[in-house]
Amino acid sequence: MTEAEAAPEPQTKTPEASPPSRGVSPPSRVRALARRALEQWDRALAVLAASVLALSFGFDYGADNQLIYLLKSLAIANPGILEKDWYASEVTHYHPVFAWLGAALIALNRDGWAVAITQVLLITVATTFIYEALRALAPKRVALAGFLCALPLMIMTRTSSVAVSYAFDAYLQPSGLGSLGLFGAIAMFVRGNFLASGIWVGIAGLFHANYLILSIPTFGLMHLFLGLKGLPRRLLLNLGPLCIAAIPVLPVIVATASSPDAARAQEILFSIRSPHHYSPGQFYKALAPFAGWQMFGVGLGSVLFRGKRSPAARFGIVLSALMALVWIGSGFSTVAYVPRVVQLFVWRFAPYIDMLSAAIGCLVLVKIAVEPGFARRISPALLALAAGGLVVVGTFQTERKNPFWIALTVVAVALLAFCVHGGFELVKRWIRLPRFEQGWLRHGPSVVLVLSLGFMVHYSVGEIEAIPSNSSLLREGGAKSDDLLTWMRDETPIDAVFLTPPDVDTFRFYGQRAIVVDWKSTPMVPGELVEWHRRLSDVCGRRVESRRDLRGYNELDRSELERLKVRYHLNYAVVSRGSERKLGYETVFKNHRYAVVKL
């Protein structure tokens, strides 16, 4: 370089000259932001696809578990109602944070639309986290194609699994927020961001105590599988937020653990109220497809689960920890029966194993289709394991619609691509095809992505068309227009106490008046659960051993009603139409099904 070249050019500053701009000019900044936004096209498409799963559940409010979980929210949003209701005002509420969220949504829209839309958004975001985990394992187009292939499987099964467990439901409830937090925590763990993972698992625990308890051993195992180096720091980052999340639910946990009624409460919960959740004899057949999905996912995914530091290895660690928790817990619920373990309900994490297994299996099938020779990396034994898992799912999946043919379609396309590539390899021995393999490596992911998008759309059309029929908010009738419930709410004193048929769970929520007890509203603190069972037996006139005993309510006579009136300070009783004549009380309301007598 010459001296002339090295010397800077003299700069003349005139009054008219504007000062040199610093950084990027506004138009350039806008272009840069636009470019970055366009680079996220895959995430936008993943969100759109995830919203199809969310919309397939419909827009619903005020039924099923919401009649319990939103009851406290309803009372907060409508001060003065249910103050004399035992369950609403005296029972320990075990989802306190959710109660305030629900109250805010109800106050925002009294018809329930804010609740329903929140549920759709929640499922969309939570499902998109599955894509975020896959995106850390493969290029955008491959990861997105795998995600799009897995979504129809989730739509078909409605994310349900063993022991009547599910990741998502049609109704907003605490477990849905638990699913959001858990999927967020898993995606961040796979990406190696343990603090973000801890924040998301803290959100799961904040809204649902079961997620709080189960996440401790699950994420503890994940970090143990990562190795001992840096273990204390990693555990602090990933589990520290749970300590904060535990504060609102700590009273429930302490009361449950220290109650002298624990043994009796477990008997009521396991044998009378919820054997479908806690008794393996009620759902053991569902363990076969549950195992089948794991065979499918592990058989195909093991080719990626190598080492300890890669995102794919961490994905394998997530699956291993979840499976260890559920299968070990199942062992202590069957072979060696430990009631405390049974009550933990480890099967709550089963749907996440199914969904992650399906997702990783579909991702590997896409890689087989787009990467010539990738299938040769999978050992014959693991391929046989995956094929066997698919057969098990097709044979035993009975909880919802069977997704076997959807999974088989993805397998068939991957196999076809593999065979076509093998055929070209044979032809190349006689004919020069120098650009085929390079061209497929370049354009194959785009072709498979388009095919997977068409596959997703094909299985989504029917679900979108069924939204009106699947949505209680879009249908006429139901509890919201029941004339008896409207009469209770509008024509009786706000502090009235009703005796109602215990097998009907809508009186308290829609009638907005205190009742004695119903089958649906089950406390979790042992002493309160024992009291619930006593009340139930009291209003049925017999010791309740199963739901069948609730029919005893229809046999109550005047003397028993007088006894119940004194004990529970009753003002009204709801009985089957026709029964009111033999009771001898004043009838104040009557419709085609029920009569209300004033006590």
Q: CA 471 from chain center: how many Å?
A: 18
DSSP string, 474-516: GSS-SGGG-HHHHHHHHHS-TT-EEE--TT--SHHHHH-SEES
Q: What is the DSSP string of 47-62?
A: HHHHHHHHHHT----S
What CA–CA distances, in Å, run from 565 to 224, 439, 534, 573, 594? Answer: 59, 82, 16, 9, 19
* Residue closest to 177 by CA, chosen among 149, 151, 203: 203
- The rounded distance, in Å, linking the Cα atoms of 43 and 37 is 10
Q: What pLDDT score does 599 carry? A: 94
Question: Alpha helices, DSSP H only, in 136-230?
Answer: 140-157, 174-190, 194-207, 209-226
Which string of b and e fits 326-353 if b means at least 16 CB within 10 Å?
Answer: bbebbebbeeeeebebbbbbbbbbbbbb
Burial class of residue 21 (count of CB atoms within 10 Å of its CB; 0-12, 13-18, 19+): exposed
Six-digit token pair at 284?
Answer: 């053991």
Residues 6+ apart with CB under 8 A from 176: 119, 122, 123, 126, 168, 169
**Residue 496 CA neighbour count, 13 Å, CB half:** 24
Q: Say what the pLDDT of residue 307 is.
A: 73
10 Å Cβ neighbour count for 289? Answer: 25
The owner of tokens 């698992």 is 201
All residues at 6 or more sequence positions from 63 whose CB lies less than 8 Å from its CB, including other chains: 171, 472, 478, 479, 506
Q: What is the pLDDT of residue 13?
A: 45
Q: Under a CB-based contact definition with an 8 Å cutoff, are residues 187 and 359 in contact? A: no
Tokens of 312: 């794919």
Which pair of tokens denotes residue 143?
């990861």
- Residue 445's pLDDT is 85
For residue 255, the tally of other CB atoms under 10 A from its CB is: 16
DSSP class of residue 334 equals: H
Q: Determine the pLDDT at residue 434.
A: 59
**Contact 374/367 with Cβ under 8 angstroms?**
yes
Q: How far is the C-alpha of 251 from the C-alpha of 229, rounded, in Å?
A: 35
- 379 vs 368: CA distance, rounded Å: 13
Q: Are the C-beta atoms of 417 and 447 separated by less than 8 Å?
A: no
H helical segments located in 65-112: 66-69, 71-77, 86-89, 96-108
For residue 455, how far is the Cα from the chain centroid?
24
pLDDT for position 258 = 72
- Residues 333 and 563: their CA atoms lie apart, in Å, by 41
User: Tens place of pLDDT for every residue, the chain, 599 residues?
Assistant: 443 434 444 444 444 444 554 555 677 888 787 788 788 999 999 999 999 999 999 999 999 999 999 999 999 999 999 999 999 999 988 899 999 999 999 999 999 999 999 999 999 999 999 999 999 999 999 999 999 999 999 999 999 999 999 999 999 999 999 999 999 999 999 999 999 999 999 999 999 999 999 999 999 999 999 999 999 999 999 999 999 999 988 877 777 777 888 899 999 999 999 998 998 888 888 899 999 999 999 999 999 998 778 999 999 999 999 999 999 999 999 888 898 899 899 999 999 999 999 999 999 999 999 987 888 899 999 999 999 999 999 998 875 578 999 999 999 988 888 887 777 666 666 666 556 566 666 778 888 999 999 999 998 888 889 899 889 999 887 787 899 999 999 999 999 999 999 999 999 999 999 999 999 999 989 999 999 999 999 999 999 999 999 999 999 999 999 999 999 999 999 999 999 999 999 999 999 999 999 99
Measured CA to CA, the distance from residue 128 to residue 532 in angstroms comes to 40
Work out whether the CA dihedral 224, 230, 231, 234 comes out positive or negative: negative
Determine the residue type at 449: L
Q: What is the Cα–Cα distance from 307 to 378, expressed in whole angstroms?
A: 16
Tokens 């559920």, residue located? 326
Q: Are strands 586-590 and 594-598 parallel, antiparallel or unpaired?
A: antiparallel
Q: For residues 15 and 7, give the distance between their C-alpha atoms in angstroms, rounded to a whole number.
A: 25
Tell which phi-psi region holds residue 23, choosing left (phi > 0), alpha (psi between -120 and 50) or beta.
left
Contacts of 566 (CB under 8 A, 6+ apart): none
3-state secondary structure of 482: coil
Check residue 269 and report its DSSP letter.
I
The span from the CA of 21 to the CA of 28, in Å, is 12
The token pair at 429 is 């021995």
Which residues have a Cβ under 8 Å from the Cβ of 592 and sit 6 or more positions away?
577
Helix (H) or strand (E) holding 542: none
Residue 430 makes CB contacts below 8 A (sequence gap 6+) with none
Query: What's the confidence (pLDDT) of residue 417?
Result: 83
Closest to 280 in 3D by CA, of 159, 399, 175, 162: 162
Q: Are the C-beta atoms of residues 370 and 187 closer than 8 Å to each other?
A: no
